[in-house]
Amino acid sequence: MSTGLIRAALCSILSDCAVYGERSANIHRSISVFLERFSNDSFIREFDFFAETLYCALQQCVHSVTSKKYRAKSALREKLWVSFHNMRENQLKVIWEKFCTSTKTKFDPFIQQTVNMKVYEEIIKAHFEVSPNNGTMASSSPPQLSVDEENIVRYAAGYVSMRLLKKYENLCTEKAMQYVAVNGDESSLLEYTTHWSSLINRGGLFEINDDTYKLFHGIELRVQKHLLSFLNDSILPDKKDIIINAVAEDENVQQVWAQLSHYITEEDHAIQLLRELISLWITVRGFAIAGTWVEQY
């Protein structure tokens, strides 16, 4: 497989030679000579060893990043490419130099870097390939919230935030303090919902800031979407866990959460807190959401 990937990368560069301007002729000649030479039985073993070494190094590069947890997919993508560029300047360069020296082959550095990138991209695609029947949630657009629902979200967000804050205060940790600001912004574009929740605020609920509201707003949209998909499915077990996973993996939710939780230094703690927050939100809002739809239909 590794040999096939590298040959495919070289052939891809060969077919795109026209876009490389003045370097096209040299690139075409270099790759053509290489492919012809390493089709010879006497060189196949050397090429296979090189291909396997390069592939394993790039695969390890992916694994070293994906084996860790990240609170947002954007952070994972960034780490993948930072890791690749670091390896490209060190380990990969050594692998190519050893191969070119032992086989007396000359390769334009551009070809080397392009092959590295194309093979790396294929490894990433293979790693993140998702089967359509693996139990993941459908990717249809979430419903929109009415003005009344947006007001309810702000009020419920204050309640959920307070519950978590009190829980972690009682446990003598700083997690809750790190994840939510308790003061609203008077000049907020979302002030109209703040005003509504202020009028009916009971039981010591506190106002939340706009970024925190956006997080809960996104969670509400996605919980509604996934709950709706379950209304006619009474057989599927672990519905709550499936919804938590789907919402926690949503890139929009992750992006807002990454901004809110940047004071939490441990990725595992940030991920755990987000999942707990989503779980509590489903408990607080789930029956109300389902009840509203049942009444409508």
> What pLDDT sits at residue 134?
42
Q: Regarding predicted confidence, which is higher, 175 or 65?
A: 65
Distance of alpha carbon 128 from alpha carbon 278, whole angstroms: 24
pLDDT in tens, 188-200: 434 444 444 454 4
Q: Model confidence over 92-144: pLDDT tens digits?
A: 999 999 998 988 888 788 889 999 999 999 999 988 874 434 444 444 455 57
Residue ranges covered by each domain of the chain: 2-127, 147-296
Pick from 200-209, 213-222, 253-262, 266-275: least confident: 200-209
Confidence of residue 183 (pLDDT cuts 50, 70, 90): very low
Provide the whole-model pTM.
0.61
Decide: 142 and 225 in contact? Cβ < 8 Å: yes
| Euclidean distance between CA atoms 226 and 245, whole angstroms | 11
Q: Which of 160, 145, 142 is nearest to 243 (CA)?
A: 142
Is residue 267 within 8 Å of residue 71, measured between CB atoms?
Answer: yes
Is the pLDDT score of 181 beyond 50? no
Q: Are 52 and 4 in contact (CB under 8 A)?
A: no
pLDDT at 224 over 80: yes
Q: What is the pLDDT of residue 26?
A: 80
- At residue 25 the predicted structure's pLDDT band, cuts being 50, 70 and 90, is confident
pLDDT in tens, 64-74: 999 888 888 88
Residue 56 confidence (pLDDT) above 70 = yes
For residue 235, what is the DSSP state?
S
* Stronger pLDDT, 131 or 87, i.e. the higher one: 87
**Between these two residues, 232 and 109, which has the higher pLDDT value?**
109
Averaged pLDDT of the chain: 77
Give me the pLDDT at residue 118, please.
93
pLDDT above 80 for 287: no
Q: What is the rounded CA–CA span in Å between residue 132 and residue 56?
A: 28
Task: Please count the residues of the chain.
Answer: 297
SS3 139: coil
pLDDT of residue 59: 95
Structure tokens belonging to residue 172: 């003598």
* CA–CA dist 184, 211 (Å, integer): 10
Return the minimum-mean-pLDDT range out of 29-43, 118-132, 138-152.
Answer: 138-152
CA distance 139 to 79: 25
pLDDT band, residue 41 (cuts 50/70/90): low
What is the reported pLDDT for 153? 83
pLDDT at 238 over 80: no
More confident position, 54 or 46: 54
- Residues whose CB falls within 8 Å of the CB of residue 270, separated by 6 or more in sequence, listed in order: 71, 179, 257, 258, 261, 264
Q: What percent of the chain has pLDDT over 90?
A: 20
Would you place residue 171 in the very low, low, confident or very high pLDDT band (cuts 50, 70, 90)?
low
Q: What is the pLDDT of residue 135?
A: 41
pLDDT digits (tens, 9 = 90+) for 8-24: 888 888 888 766 677 78
